[in-house]
């Protein structure tokens, strides 16, 4: 059928056949952002602040991976997922269920080339370069978070308490200390704590632990609340959030000119893909291959009357992260490949998370007070570094933040805004 062209509200053409029977919404924006998680919200914030007319499309903004994660802002975790240690862990994962990484069986075949690429990216030279880049980006991002609070009045409730990597075995503690040379070379500061010092700092942890490594400059926040606050700040600067799912794009003259949603069409000058773990699917609609796969994790949140722990704590040998806030404490764990976004967290995994944590923190609130467990998809890339850059003449990717999306949100928004500004 021949396309029938009509004028849009401002300066664009709208192809009615592309929009189908849905109503032709003649809205034009300077920039359309697909995805309203922490990344899309930060992108919208910096673009709106620079004066751009921004529309964010997301059927459920803030309800993806940015909702129930651990909320740690951690330059100290800049060693990328693609590292020699991770390759060893995923090989072990194929044989055992008790590993950092797990696979929902049957393992999808499409993951094989992705993991092959990860093995290449995990070579020590590349992993070292990636660590330096991530550390620098994370440091800048923490600075931008602070600027959001100090200069823009955004209420982020940053908790400047540092983080502790806690160990029960002296051997594991020593091994980890040696592995930190690379981070130290990037400028990361940390302090070794023996068992007595650890008890002084964190009396809620059980006795008999080997010690901990303290990273004084890490921070934490409430991820859902912070994402909402940044989205609200973007709205206050003129960004529009529309509860619409992107289902297609239209190209003309080598550029993307329009996006189709489940409710209508929008034309724009620039498009940003910030759809988290769904970015590969959105990229496909654009004819672009984004190497993003979902790495699922789970969290359980318990109400508390006051912070259970003073710092954010990582139980290194158990792969558990504990974020203590004023009125809740959240445990997170897991990196599962395979399955779908609709799968529920496994009951066994939730029980194990509770039991393992309770063995370190005996005063953890009663199990039956916990909120329903949450499962979220980290947008993983084989290199362990995000994809931020142009993937077509007027399309920018801002995705693939993996285990560090909360940490890297502001710096990503800032970078995208600079890219748009040329
Ligand atoms: C258990 C767990 C713990 C974590 N802990 C930390 C931590 O402590 N610190 C840290 O820095 N990071 C952490 N992360 C990682 C972090 O949560 C993610 O990297 C980050 O939230 C990714 O943000 P995002 O905006 O890219 O994705 P999301 O928050 O998932 O947002 C993507 C959005 O895109 C939307 N979308 C998808 N498809 C479409 C479409 N077709 N049209 C329109 N919209 C669409 C979705 O509705 C969603 O709202 C953790 C993750 C998990 C799972």
| pLDDT tens for each residue of 378-391 | 999 999 999 999 99
| Ligand 1 pocket residue status of 35, Cβ below 6 Å | yes
pLDDT class of 17 with cuts at 50, 70, 90: low
Look at the chain and report how many structural domains it folds into.
Answer: 1
Which of 42-51, 173-182, 186-195, 218-227 has the least mean pLDDT? 173-182
% pLDDT > 70, the chain: 92
Residue 2: inside a domain:
no
34 Cα: distance to centroid of ligand 1 (angstroms): 12
Q: Which helix (H) or strand (E) holds 417?
A: helix 405-420
In the predicted model, what is the mean pLDDT of residues 228-252?
A: 98
Residue 17: inside a domain:
no
Which residue in this structure is represented by tokens 């490594």? 213
In the predicted model, what is the mean pLDDT of residues 261-281?
A: 97
Residue 11: inside a domain:
no
Rg (CA), the chain: 22
* H helical segments located in 250-346: 279-285
**Is pLDDT of 160 > 50?**
yes
| Ligand 1 pocket residue status of 228, Cβ below 6 Å | no
405 Cα: distance to centroid of ligand 1 (angstroms): 7
| Ligand 1 pocket residue status of 274, Cβ below 6 Å | yes
Give whole-number Cα distances, 394 to 8, 15, 381, 411, in Å.
19, 19, 22, 20
**Is pLDDT of 187 > 90?**
yes
pLDDT digits (tens, 9 = 90+) for 326-354: 999 999 999 999 888 888 888 899 999 99
Residue 21: inside a domain:
no
Indicate which atom in ligand 1 lies nearest the CA of residue 299. Answer: 1
CATH code for position 332: 3.50.50.60
- Residues β-bridged to residue 397: 273, 389
In the predicted model, what is the mean pLDDT of residues 359-371?
A: 94
**Which structural domain range is residue 322 located in?**
28-421
Please tell me the residue having the least CA distance from ligand 1 atom 35: 35
pLDDT class of 96 with cuts at 50, 70, 90: low
Mean pLDDT over the full length of the chain: 90
| Ligand 1 pocket residue status of 72, Cβ below 6 Å | yes
Residue 22: inside a domain:
no
Report the C-alpha gap between 56 and 36 in whole angstroms. 6
Residue 138: inside a domain:
yes
| Ligand 1 pocket residue status of 324, Cβ below 6 Å | no
pLDDT class of 18 with cuts at 50, 70, 90: low
57 Cα: distance to centroid of ligand 1 (angstroms): 15
């Amino acid at each position: 059928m021949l396309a029938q062209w009509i004028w849009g509200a401002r300066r664009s053409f709208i192809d009615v056949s592309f929009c189908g029977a849905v109503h032709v919404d003649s809205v034009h924006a300077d920039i359309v952002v697909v995805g309203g998680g922490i990344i899309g919200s930060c992108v919208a914030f910096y673009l709106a602040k620079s004066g751009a007319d921004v529309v964010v499309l997301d059927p459920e903004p803030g309800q993806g991976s940015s909702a129930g994660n651990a909320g740690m802002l951690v330059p100290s975790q800049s060693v990328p997922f693609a590292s020699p240690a991770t390759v060893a862990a995923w090989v072990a994962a194929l044989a055992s269920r008790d590993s950092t990484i797990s696979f929902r069986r049957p393992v999808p075949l499409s993951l094989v080339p992705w993991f092959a690429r990860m093995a290449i990216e995990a070579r020590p030279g590349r992993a070292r370069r990636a660590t330096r880049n991530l550390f620098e980006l994370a440091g800048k991002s923490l600075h931008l978070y602070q600027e959001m609070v100090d200069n823009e009045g955004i209420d982020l409730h940053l908790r400047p308490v540092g983080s502790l990597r806690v160990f029960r075995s002296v051997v594991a503690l020593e091994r980890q200390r040696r592995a930190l040379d690379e981070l130290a070379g990037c400028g990361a500061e940390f302090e070794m704590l023996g068992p007595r010092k650890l008890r002084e700092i964190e009396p809620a942890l059980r006795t008999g632990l080997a010690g901990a490594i303290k990273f004084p400059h890490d921070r934490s926040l409430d991820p859902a609340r912070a994402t909402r606050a940044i989205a609200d700040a973007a709205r206050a600067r003129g960004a529009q959030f529309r509860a619409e799912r992107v289902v297609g794009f239209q190209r003309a003259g080598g550029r993307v000119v329009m996006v189709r949603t489940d409710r209508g069409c929008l034309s724009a000058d620039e498009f940003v893909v910030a759809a988290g773990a769904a970015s590969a699917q959105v990229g496909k609609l654009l004819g672009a291959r984004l190497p993003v796969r979902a790495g699922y994790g789970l969290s359980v949140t318990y109400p508390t009357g006051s912070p259970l722990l003073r710092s954010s704590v990582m139980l290194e040998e158990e792969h558990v992260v504990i974020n203590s806030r004023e009125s809740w404490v959240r445990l997170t764990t897991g990196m599962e490949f395979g399955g779908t976004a609709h799968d529920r967290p496994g009951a066994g995994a939730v029980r194990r998370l509770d039991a393992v944590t309770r063995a370190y923190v005996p005063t953890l609130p009663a199990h039956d007070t916990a909120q329903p467990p949450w499962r979220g998809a980290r947008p993983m890339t084989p290199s362990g570094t995000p994809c931020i850059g142009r993937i077509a003449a007027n399309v920018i990717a801002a995705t693939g933040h993996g285990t560090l999306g909360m940490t890297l949100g502001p710096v990503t928004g800032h970078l995208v805004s600079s890219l748009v500004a040329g």
